[in-house]
Amino acid sequence: MVLDSLSPGSRRVYRKALDDFFRWHEELARPPLSKRLVQRYKRHLEDQGLAPSTVNRALCAIRKLAREAADNALLDPVLAEGIARVKGVRSNGVRTGNWLTRDQAQALLDAPAISTLKGLRDRGLLAVLIGTGLRRTEAADLTFDHVQQREGRWVIVDIVGKRGKVRTVPMPSWAKAAIDGWAKVAGITAGRVFRAMAKDDRLNGTQITPQAIRDVVAEYASALGFDGIAPHDLRRTFAKLAHKGGAGLDQIQLSLGHASIKTTERYLGIEQDLTDAPCDRLGLRLG
């Protein structure tokens, strides 16, 4: 019931959080669900040294579990209300994640061996992730119908992101060329752009999973010595390189599909520049 009410992206996160909670609950011989039990689980997660955001995601999943159980007469509403009042962990600062430099991003883009079909697919996939900032779930759902021309340039139209938000994302010509190179050799012109591959370098299905995309990024990043790089870090890299290249925050926000400019700023790790401050750009002076 919890998962049925969520978007596909949230469903994966909540499923893992609830599976972890149920395993821990099983080890305790399944005591009754209560505020005290959830507080105990919170301490268990903190004792493992997990990040506040990870602990808070787990608590969100358990709160929703309690609400759904109460709404369906499976849990006393008073108990559900008590669980809802379990406070999350306060976060000191923001963990901004990883970025690649322009040279590192170029090296990653050039890493796949395009003499193979898998290499062509992987180059196209990396080009889309770095060149447009799509989430891995969005890249997995990308179809040829999404790729269209608007105002003389290639764009990804009507891609559906988090919470069902629809947006259009401009795409650099080199990313479109990488898609075309893969699609031509693969002999595909419709449906999902990126497909699973068999070990003998043949197509294996009509789509690719978000987990497989994560594996592709990790494979090439690790080979280049960029350990710990995930698809979301390529999304951050897109934002960082675009900002350094002079793109406005509002335009980067629109491409990424962020509801708040604050989220975009966190992606960029923006800090106050005291040597070239906004007040220095006003163009005013005393008479």
pLDDT digits (tens, 9 = 90+) for 196-207: 999 999 999 999
Residue at 206 is within a domain: yes
| Whole-number pLDDT of residue 264 | 77
Angle at CA of residue 125, ends 122 and 127, nearest 5°: 110
- Cβ atoms of 182 and 126 within 8 Å: the answer is no
111/65 same-domain check: no
The parent domain of residue 249 ranges over 102-268
Per-residue pLDDT tens digits for 9-19: 678 888 999 99
65/202 same-domain check: no
And the tokens for 234?
Answer: 């390529």
Residues with a catalytic annotation lie at 135, 162, 232, 235, 258, 267
Residue 64 pLDDT level (bands cut at 50, 70, 90): very high
Q: Is 30 helix (H, G, I), strand (E, B) or coil?
A: coil
State the CATH number of the domain containing residue 170: 1.10.443.10
138/255 same-domain check: yes
160/190 same-domain check: yes
| Whole-number pLDDT of residue 269 | 66
Residue 94 pLDDT level (bands cut at 50, 70, 90): very low
Q: How far apart are CA 258 and CA 212, in angstroms?
A: 25
Residue at 250 is within a domain: yes
Q: What is the mean pLDDT of residues 30-41?
A: 94
Position 180, amino acid: D
